[in-house]
Amino acid sequence: MGEPFAALDDITRETMNDELLRLWDELGQTVVFITHDIDESIYLSDRIIVLSKLPGGIYREMKNDLPRPRSGPTTRTHDLFWKYKKELMQDIANVSAIKRHTEELEEEEIVVN
């Protein structure tokens, strides 16, 4: 699912997140969910994959050990939730720094040639 809840308001989005978790629990199907929302990725997933910039690849794979069943207020205030959020924000900053460094190197190559 590629960012299916991106255009929703926060309340509707949280309701849909809970509904997705309910369906996942009921049906037991694997779901690949793509999002740019760190909180959403932590809340919904058992495994989070941070992608690198071009060339695309996996920067990091993180196992999510938050207890299930998950509920908005309880899960979003759990210590592990905040630990994961901090780690993921750092990962994204690292990926962005790598991209900037790569762009700087490419610019130097253009100037040298």
pTM of the model: 0.82
pLDDT band of residue 74 (cuts 50, 70, 90) is very high
The pLDDT of residue 1:
74
With a cut of 50, say whether residue 108 has pLDDT above it.
yes
pLDDT tens, position by position, 2-61: 788 989 999 999 999 999 999 999 999 999 999 999 999 999 999 999 998 877 899 999
Q: What residue segments make up the domains of the chain, in order of their start?
A: 10-112
Q: What is the 3-state secondary structure (H, E, C) of the chain?
A: CECCCCCCCHHHHHHHHHHHHHHHHHHCCCCCCECCCHHHHHHHCCEEEEEECCCCEEEEEEECCCCCCCCHHHHHCCHHHHHHHHHHHHHHHHHHHHHHHHHHHHHHHHHHC
Phi first, then psi, for residue 52 (nearest 5°) are -90, 170
